[in-house]
Amino acid sequence: MSKGKLRLGVNIDHVATVRNARGGAYPDPVRAARLAEEAGADGITAHLREDRRHISDADIEGLMAALTKPLNFEMAATEEMQRIALRHKPHAVCIVPEKREERTTEGGLEVAREENRLAHFIAPLREAGSRVSIFIAADQRQIEAAHRIGAEVIELHTGAYCDYHAEGKFAERDDELKRLTDMAAFADGLGLEVHAGHGLTYETVQPVAALPQIMELNIGHFLIGEAIFLGLADAIGEMRRLMDEARA
Ligand code: PXP
């Protein structure tokens, strides 16, 4: 059974990417986040990367001060990021893997092999009141490990599903969607809240939005790109419409 309205978290990292292409202050990711809130986003996501290639420390300060909806703070499991999260105490912290040379977050976190370290890493974040989410592939071993370390939320990585779609590999795409479907149900059965995201577009969002256990989608790059053509509010409005249609 569906768990009701699917939340949309809008990731504003790539507003900062455009700003940083020239330095200076424009376009302002905080302004984009406020507009996204008004356009129907249920929350805002921002990833403070170790190399600060898009979102900056000042952006996180600005978002914490300006937002009226929850901030989902994406970060790698490093001491520096933990300190920053403990200072801001955002609504949610999503732990993602990070490699300096990657273009984007390429795979899910390897939780099973790092269970002990991650359990200790997330404990203070939870004590500070942040909901801890772990970004992982649709893999039963990783989901079980995320559950054991005390995460409340997992975010399933939809990147492979979206890549197969874009490459026209429809059999592989459908296999990956089946894994996402099965693992969303499995995680829900363990009592984890299930989110999903990465690479989603108007073409790929509906089969994921239709999975009844999924409670939140986090979408960024496509929406910021589409905003060039439609404006941010309309780009978000169309994504919202497709999500609601898939859910109905
Ligand atoms: N969820 C997580 C955990 C991510 O790391 C990202 C990318 O930063 C997204 C969702 C959004 O992905 P995209 O920008 O491709 O929509």
Q: Are β-strands 193-197 and 43-47 bridged in parallel, bridged antiparallel, or unpaired?
A: unpaired
Q: How far is the CA of 83 from the centre of ligand 1 (A)?
A: 22
Which pLDDT value is given to residue 104? Answer: 67
Max CA pair span of the chain:
48
The atom of ligand 1 lying closest to the CA of 218 is: 10
For ligand 1, atom 4, name the residue with the nearest CA.
198
- Which residue in this structure is represented by tokens 């577009």? 201
Which pLDDT value is given to residue 1? Answer: 52
For ligand 1, atom 5, name the residue with the nearest CA.
105
Please state, in angstroms and rounded to a whole number, the distance separating the CA atoms of residues 114 and 212: 30
Which pLDDT value is given to residue 99? Answer: 76
- Which residues are catalytically annotated? 47, 74, 198
Cβ of 29 below 6 Å from ligand 1? no
**pTM of the entire predicted model:** 0.96
Which domains, ranges and CATH numbers included, belong to the chain? 7-247 (3.20.20.70)
Inter-residue contact 120 to 95 (CB < 8 Å): no
The atom of ligand 1 lying closest to the CA of 224 is: 14
The atom of ligand 1 lying closest to the CA of 222 is: 16
Pocket mutation for ligand 1, best pick of 200, 221, 224 (most atoms within 8 Å of C-beta): 221
Cβ of 157 below 6 Å from ligand 1? no
Inter-residue contact 242 to 206 (CB < 8 Å): yes
Which pLDDT value is given to residue 178? Answer: 98
Strand partners, 111: none
The atom of ligand 1 lying closest to the CA of 13 is: 8
Task: Look at residues 62, 70, 66, 68 and name the one whose alpha carbon lies nearest to residue 44.
Answer: 70
Cβ of 55 below 6 Å from ligand 1? no
pLDDT means over runs of 10, the chain (248 residues): 83 98 96 98 98 97 98 97 98 90 75 95 98 97 97 98 98 98 98 98 98 98 98 98 96
For ligand 1, atom 7, name the residue with the nearest CA.
198
Task: Look at residues 28, 8, 6 and name the one whose alpha carbon lies nearest to residue 16.
Answer: 28
